[in-house]
């Protein structure tokens, strides 16, 4: 028969024991406080579904006051930030192809002359539509902003506003994803998210399991260097990551019809670099965790901000500067740029060299810290 009696003193003793144990488990206690605070900061300040201040390039071949008025109005709207003013069409094409800018605004050399003659002037706007959500708000406001600016600069009477609105033609080219299909942006990004979620957690928990079960003593007794032990533990996970890559790429093409216009060999090389950085991150986490639960908690603490600030769920360019700075510290951020550039833009090595080099930096950083923290003894 179950004893349902309740003693206040015994209950208090159990409660005190649990609080003391919770206090000793510093990682769990930090997670209880850190995760809610992190979520509040990310969702309250960093996430923006209507991004503004998007990096843009202005190729002004007219140079007149009408062109300046249109450019000023676009920047005043808050959506466009002309960080680059290329001197040639080739330079402008490189900026949008490399992902340095989201928009390329081209003002033809005859804009002012056509406005003065009463002809229909036009401007060309090339938008990087690999992330449709990032460009939709700006493109929606573009027509009104540019036409109102031209009307004010023209100085016509109010009754001429409707006529002037019809006189400016804005030609929009949605590059790399003209139909605005969201799967073209999400599915390639899922490759990085799936790899990160599984590789970091599997590696961290796998090594922590060795400590929990006492088999770490066998590893420490072996005549192997810390580097040899680390490589022996992380390299098998590269094979697991390879299987996941094949599954995601085949599904992306067969189920979702995601275009693949770049080099498969280049993509696989960058994926290998990314996976190696992830398993080393998992190894790094395992040097802090003492139980598998702690390893899972630390993995989640790394995964959540990486997912939010990498540009996978929300447009990266729409986040405030401090959030973008933090986002640059995650391998997923750089890998998403690589996989989307290779698959959707057909980017070659020079275009992704910087992002690829950052993944190499993460490998060296995680490996160095993990080897430094590696313990040859269990005390």
CATH number, residue 109:
3.40.1710.10
Residue 87 lies inside a defined structural domain of this protein = yes
Count CA within 13 A, CB hemisphere, residue 35.
Answer: 13
Q: For the segment 176-210, what is each residue's pLDDT rounded down to a tens digit? A: 888 878 888 888 999 999 999 888 888 888 878 87
* Mean pLDDT taken over the chain: 81
Q: For the segment 32-45, what is each residue's pLDDT rounded down to a tens digit? A: 666 677 666 666 66
Residue 49 lies inside a defined structural domain of this protein = no
pLDDT for 238:
79
Alpha helices in 79-221 (DSSP H): 89-97, 111-117, 132-154, 161-167, 183-213, 216-221
Residue 83 DSSP symbol: E
Residue 3 lies inside a defined structural domain of this protein = no
Pairing status of strand 103-107 against strand 54-60: parallel
User: Tokens at residue 190, please?
Assistant: 């899922």
The verdict on 356 and 220 lying in the same domain is yes
Domain count, the chain: 2
Q: Which of 186, 337, 345 is nearest to 274 (CA)?
A: 337
The verdict on 148 and 190 lying in the same domain is no
The verdict on 187 and 170 lying in the same domain is no
Residue 378 lies inside a defined structural domain of this protein = no
pLDDT for 158:
43
Of 175, 194, 226, the last residue of a domain is 175
Between CA 202 and CA 215 the distance in angstroms is 17
pLDDT for 377:
44
Q: What is the CA radius of gyration of the chain?
A: 27
The verdict on 110 and 200 lying in the same domain is no
The verdict on 234 and 299 lying in the same domain is yes
The verdict on 366 and 248 lying in the same domain is yes
pLDDT for 367:
86
The verdict on 228 and 79 lying in the same domain is no
Residues of the chain with pLDDT under 70: 1-6, 22-23, 25-35, 38-49, 155-167, 214-221, 374-379
Residue 379 lies inside a defined structural domain of this protein = no
pLDDT for 378:
45
Q: Which of 188, 198, 193 is nearest to 240 (CA)?
A: 198
| The Cα angle at residue 320 between residues 318 and 323, in degrees rounded to 5 | 105
Residue 33 lies inside a defined structural domain of this protein = no
Q: Which domain holds residue 171?
A: 54-175
Residue 81 lies inside a defined structural domain of this protein = yes
The verdict on 193 and 117 lying in the same domain is no
Residue 242 lies inside a defined structural domain of this protein = yes
Between CA 51 and CA 281 the distance in angstroms is 31
pLDDT for 159:
45
Of 158, 175, 192, the last residue of a domain is 175
Residue 126 DSSP symbol: E
What is the pTM for the complete model shown? 0.79
pLDDT for 157:
45
The verdict on 126 and 105 lying in the same domain is yes
The verdict on 148 and 266 lying in the same domain is no
The verdict on 94 and 200 lying in the same domain is no
The verdict on 170 and 244 lying in the same domain is no
């Amino acid at each position: 028969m179950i004893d349902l009696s309740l003693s206040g003193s015994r209950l208090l003793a159990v409660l005190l024991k649990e609080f003391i144990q919770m206090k000793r488990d510093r990682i769990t206690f930090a997670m209880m406080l850190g995760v809610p605070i992190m979520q509040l900061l990310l969702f309250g300040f960093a996430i923006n579904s209507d991004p503004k201040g998007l990096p843009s390039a202005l190729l002004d071949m007219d140079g007149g006051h009408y062109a300046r008025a249109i450019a000023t109005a676009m920047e005043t709207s808050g959506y466009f930030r002309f960080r680059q003013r290329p001197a040639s069409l080739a330079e402008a094409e490189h900026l949008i192809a490399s992902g340095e800018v989201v928009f390329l605004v081209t003002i033809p050399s005859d804009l002012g002359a056509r406005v003065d003659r009463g002809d229909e002037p036009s401007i060309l706007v090339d938008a990087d539509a690999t992330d449709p959500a990032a460009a939709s708000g700006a493109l929606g406001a573009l027509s009104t902003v540019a036409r109102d600016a031209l009307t004010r600069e023209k100085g016509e009477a109010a009754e001429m506003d409707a006529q002037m609105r019809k006189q400016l033609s804005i030609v929009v080219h949605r590059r790399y994803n003209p139909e605005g299909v969201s799967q073209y942006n999400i599915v390639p990004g899922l490759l990085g998210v799936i790899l990160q979620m599984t590789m970091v957690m599997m590696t961290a928990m796998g090594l922590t399991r060795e400590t929990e079960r006492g088999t770490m003593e066998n590893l420490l007794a072996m005549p192997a260097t810390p580097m040899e032990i680390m490589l022996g533990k992380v390299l098998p996970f590269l094979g697991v990551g390879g299987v996941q890559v094949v599954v995601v790429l085949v599904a992306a093409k067969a189920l979702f019809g995601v275009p693949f216009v770049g080099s498969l060999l280049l993509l696989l090389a960058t994926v290998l670099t990314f996976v190696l950085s992830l398993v080393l991150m998992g190894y790094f986490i395992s040097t802090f965790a003492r139980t598998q639960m702690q390893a899972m908690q630390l993995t989640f603490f790394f995964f959540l901000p990486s997912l939010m600030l990498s540009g996978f769920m929300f447009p990266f360019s729409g986040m405030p500067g401090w959030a973008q700075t933090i986002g640059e510290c995650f391998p997923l951020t750089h890998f998403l740029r690589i996989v989307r550039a290779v698959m959707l833009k057909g980017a070659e090595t020079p275009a992704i060299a910087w992002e690829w080099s950052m993944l190499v930096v993460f490998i060296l950083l995680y490996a160095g810290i993990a080897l430094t923290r590696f313990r040859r003894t269990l005390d």
